[in-house]
A and B are shown apart, each in its own frame.
Chain A
Amino acid sequence: MPKLVLKFENAVLQEVPVSSKEVSIGRSPDNALVIDNPAVSHYHARVFNEEGRIMLEDFGSLNGTFVNGQRVKMIALKHGDSVAVGKHTIVVSDSRDLDGFASSYAAKPAAPKLNETVILDTKERRAFMQQVAAGGESAQVAPARLKVPTLVVRKGKTSQKEYPLTDKLTVVGKSTMATVKLTSWFAPRVAAQINRREDQSYYLGPADKVPSVNGRPIDRPTKLSPGDVIDVAGVQLEFVYRD
């Protein structure tokens, strides 16, 4: 699995794998990669996997994120790249050897016949997943969040000032089933939806309206990061994690 190696000068401080879960980078302790330095923003940048490509996105940080010396907003990373955040360096290590493990499995006597579905029972699955150095299904490796994901109302008419996201599905609109209840006269019944996925991440998607996140309209479900500002149906909401 690709991984990020956090270094200060020549010392290795931390190693984080880039799985399906994004790696958030920043000074705030709830980031996956915490860099405790005043030159680093609380939520500075993130690294995520997009269809096998490792992407880096800077969250508009004050002091910037640099890849191989160039300041970047969003870039695909490759093996050996050096990402500078403040005085720290994050080195990208990506030595995936896919053919290796796939053929080692296929060569086993229990290999499935083509077209015949095989079910790995829990024991087999565990052994198999360990063999490929994983910790089980990705949904199960997500650590429990201690903080409460919350929508804070910045602008517009709503029934409350803040909405903790406790349900799997959160609806923004005038509808009776809406959690974030819009109270202006011409508000749509179902303006937008937010889903919590199994890995505890939150996705905002369009419904009767196309919302925007940080000023960019989104026509398909988009993962929310702390600090994201959502505009929909005349209401502005900020996505944060509350203690």
Chain B
Amino acid sequence: MRNKIEFGACSDIGCVREGNEDSFGAAPDVRLFVLSDGMGGLAFGEVASRIAVETIIREYRGAKAGTGLNGDSIEGVSEASNRLVSAIHAANKAIYQNAEQNGANQQMGATVVAVHLAEERMSLAHVGDSRAYRLRGGQLEQLTRDHSFIAEQVRQGRMTQLEAGRSGLQNVLLRALGTSPKVDVEITEELILDGDIVLLCSDGLTRELTDARIAAILGSCDEAQEAADRLVEAAKQAGGGDNITAIVLRRDANSRNSFARMFRIGR
């Protein structure tokens, strides 16, 4: 399976912001990919998202080496899923403690979306409004549900998608890493089959591009890196109101490029 997954990633500051508060990381050796969007004053957003990515990858590796889980184990999901959730709990704690050290009035937090691959099985964990999508047979499917006020309103039938798109409350999150000592991590298990493309992205991408546009770009690229670059570029062209980050994973029976593919960070 290792030689069947190809990945690419791209991150950009966008056209408006003064810093890039998004972070991402890839640990192909343990088949783990992590994306985080930080928030907070001064440079604290960048710090928060970096702590998130680094802690999750480190903790996942550590848990693999046989240390215990942070928090209770979850039934009905794989061991890898449990390890991933445990690593995210550790990241939550690390950001929370860092914020406390920086003084009580400095709130910092981060979203996270992380995926672990085991054969066709994906463990998908997230907190906040960073998303995962899967393109299968030309259909783009959002695999995560945003932990945001607006998304919740739509789920409860209080708002239509259209009203949600126009709302001024897009930025209100219901869950984030680092804002309280405990966090509720959502874990999902999914499949990645031959021909599937999986996208992890920050809201800077999904606020600028429609699902149809994302599907068209993902579907028209031959390589994961090209897809990640083109998605980020398209979001910039559409306004680039926020930092934009995309990780693209492709499972292809005939892929020449293995995990050896490098990724790069934009300006």
Contacts and interface: CB of A to CB of B under 8 A. Distances in A.
Interface of A: 1-2, 18-20, 49, 51-54, 96, 98, 102, 105-106, 112, 114-122, 125, 128, 132, 134, 137-138, 166-169, 171, 175, 177, 189-190, 193, 195-196, 198, 205-208, 219-221
Contacts of B180: 121-122
Nearest to A134: B156
Given A117-B39, A190-B120, A220-B141, A96 B168 contact: no
B169 A115 contact: no
Contacts of A115: 16, 171, 241-242
Dominant secondary structure of chain B at its interface with chain A: loop
A2 B77 contact: no
B171 A112 contact: yes
Given A167-B77, A169-B77, A190-B191, 19 more contacts: A49-B157, A52-B157, A54-B157, A98-B163, A115-B171, A117-B37, A120-B174, A122-B180, A137-B174, A138-B155, A166-B76, A169-B189, A177-B119, A193-B191, A198-B186, A219-B137, A220-B139, A220-B141, A221-B141
Contacts, number: 128
Contact of B189 (A112, A138, A167, A175): A167
7 contacts: A51-B161, A115-B241, A120-B173, A125-B174, A134-B158, A167-B77, A190-B193
A128 B158 CA distance: 14
Majority-rule SS of A interface residues: loop
B172 A120 contact: yes
B9 to A, nearest CB: 22
B168 A114 contact: yes
Most chain-B CB neighbours within 10 Å: which of A51, A168, A171, A189?
Answer: A168
Interface string B67-109: 0000000011100010000000000000000000000000101
B173 A1 contact: no
B152 A138 contact: yes
Contacts of A122: 180
B183 to A, nearest CB: 10
A221 B107 CA distance: 38
B157 A119 contact: no
Contacts of B147: 137
Contact of B158 (A53, A132, A168, A175): A132
Contacts of B211: none
Given A125-B174, A171-B191, A52 B163 contact: yes
* Residue from B75, B158, B189, B242 having most chain A Cβ neighbours under 10 A: B158
Contact of A119 (B39, B160, B163): B39
